[in-house]
Amino acid sequence: MHDFTPWSALIGGAMIGLAASLLLVGAGRVAGVSGIFAAALFGERDERPWRLAFLGGLCAVGLACAWLFPGVVSASPRPVYLLAVAGLFVGFGTQMGEGCTSGHGVCGVSRLSGRSLVATALFVASGVVTATLVRLLGVGQ
């Protein structure tokens, strides 16, 4: 079990908001990770460089953490077969709903977009139901 860490959560959250603002002010784009990834693979070719660079920035942090601060990035407690199912749902769902926690949850909610407010309420609700059910049913224990 993890402890409630409000201060580091707020500071890290502010950094996320700042990063989204930086991408908006510099490139004029929404920092939605699922959209950036999918469009880097299936989208316009001339837009590929900045999308790959953004994902590269995320990955650079992962490398730095693994090297300097092991423990900051940890594995999921869920078994691998459940993570495979999870990945399918996340991949398909973010394409169908056109966004994830970053695109809808952070950027869209900040813009007070009706679509993003609805999407965020729905994915948090279904996430809560799913995570709670997985524990109650003892799946993957």
- The one-letter code for the residue type at 130 is T
Q: How far is the CB of 51 from other proteins (least distance, A)?
A: 7
Q: How far is the CB of 68 from other proteins (least distance, A)?
A: 10
Q: Are 73 and 66 in contact (CB under 8 A)?
A: yes
Can residue 56 be called a binding residue for other proteins (CB under 8 A)? yes
Site for other proteins in 89-128 (CB under 8 A): 89-102, 104-115, 118-120, 122-128
Can residue 57 be called a binding residue for other proteins (CB under 8 A)? yes
CB atoms within 10 A of CB 52: 15
In the list 51, 137, 138, 141, the residue contacting other proteins (rule: CB under 8 A) is 51
Q: How far is the CB of 123 from other proteins (least distance, A)?
A: 3
Can residue 3 be called a binding residue for other proteins (CB under 8 A)? yes
Q: How far is the CB of 33 from other proteins (least distance, A)?
A: 4
- The one-letter code for the residue type at 91 is G
Q: Which residues contact 60 (CB under 8 A, 6 or more apart)?
A: none
| Residues in binding contact with other proteins, number by CB under 8 A | 120
Site for other proteins in 7-36 (CB under 8 A): 8-36
Can residue 138 be called a binding residue for other proteins (CB under 8 A)? no
